[in-house]
Amino acid sequence: MIDITTETKTGADCSGSSGGSNRVLTLSNTGKTSQPGFLIYVSGLALTLTTEYTVVHNSTSSTITFLNGMWDDMTIIVNYFQKRTTVEQYETKRDDIEDIITDNGYVCVLTRQTETTDVTGGVTAISEEEYDIWTLIQDITRKDRQIHDMGLAVPGNSKAFFFWEYPDSITGNGVLYIDPGDIIKYKNDKWRVEKILSQHQADNNEIFRTGIIKKIDLDEDA
């Protein structure tokens, strides 16, 4: 993603002493700047690259060196494009989908069962942990071709959208990642996570998860 940025400075923001040459100004960019669209004005006059200034384009804190004398009371305006970093891009996408889920979904209680087995593999105990989560549940439609092709478009099944990760600040019980077998309850309705369809990626980072959930009876042994 490309951002257009304008910074207004004075000569006093540069290194060195008033009136000196080769004074350096450090920009506040958090994404890499580029020469196309990079414009510098000093006291209203546009400067020319290599004859009046040089620049080092960094991922953060690009630097401009003014080759001629620069006085502290001179006004400097810098216009530039910067590429947002990968971290900013995928974090923004996570925030966007989480806003959609919280705006259109609701808070559910997720129950996860853990089995304890003996040396022969027999189940000796079953424990349960509960977590608060946000989820958005939708009916399966004809447009969900992948779900139909997988044979999952059956009565009682729905499509659900989940955060890529639920932090302790939401769950109240540690960090949680949705897995098949988890039980979700909202008011008098109860579903089991049957399958995680996809873990949607951007820049090799997970953004959100979609899954198939099956409606179950409250008195059903989950």
Global pTM reads 0.58
pLDDT band with cut points at 50, 70 and 90 for residue 139: very high
Q: Which helix (H) or strand (E) holds 99?
A: helix 86-104
Q: In the predicted model, what is the mean pLDDT of residues 126-149?
A: 91
Phi then psi for 72, rounded to 5 degrees?
-60, -30
Q: What's the CA gap between 187 and 194, in Å, rounded?
A: 20
Identify the bridge partners of residue 45 per DSSP, sorted by sequence position: 42
Q: What's the CA gap between 158 and 139, in Å, rounded?
A: 5
Kindly indicate whether the domain formed by 90-216 is annotated with CATH number 2.40.10. Answer: yes
Q: What's the CA gap between 18 and 32, in Å, rounded?
A: 29
Sign of the dihedral defined by the CA atoms of residues 35, 36, 37, 43, in that order: positive
Domain limits, the chain: 2-84, 90-216
pLDDT in tens, 90-132: 788 888 899 999 999 999 999 998 777 778 877 777 888 999 9
DSSP string spanning 140-179?
--TT-HHHHHTT---TTEEEEEEES-B-HHHHSSS-B---
